[in-house]
Amino acid sequence: MRSILTIVLILAVVITGMSCKKGTPATYPVEGDYLIAGHSDGFVAGGNPVIYYLINNGQLRKDVSKTEATVPTDVSGFNFSIQMLQVSYAAVADLLTTIPSELLARNNAYIGSQVVADIPTLDVRTSIHGTLYRWTFSEDQSSSSAAVQLFYNRINAIH
């Protein structure tokens, strides 16, 4: 009788633990102003992993679930499940508020040298007061202004 009671008690604990996990969201909701940045490895067959970072609500988060072939076009397709250390966030906390005005005037633009299929790029997306922006940066920023080069270098250094 005692062993049956022990088994029932263990099952009750396991079932209770499993039901608590159901309420935990699988993805981090991206709300309000944000900045998302991720690298493309250039010419690939689409299977290489890519890492995207999110600056949002006082946090720096990472999504490692994407490949070249699965990068979403919409923000809701990301899964920023990994929260980075606060010291990492502190190094980039101001990026969302220091976007050069010339970039804001060039929405959906390719920034840098000419597009070449096998050259890595940096994909940057942001939302500022509900306005969506997106830029694709080439590695060669020598023709860009000093402000754009600084912005690019700071984003490129996130990890």
Nearest residue to 153 via CA among 141, 34, 71, 66? 141
Low-confidence ranges of the chain (pLDDT < 50): 5-25
Query: Hey, what are 112's tokens?
Result: 């840098």
pTM: 0.78
Pairing of strands 131-138, 109-111: parallel
- Supply the pLDDT for residue 93: 94
CATH fold of the domain at 34-156: Mago nashi protein (3.30.1560)
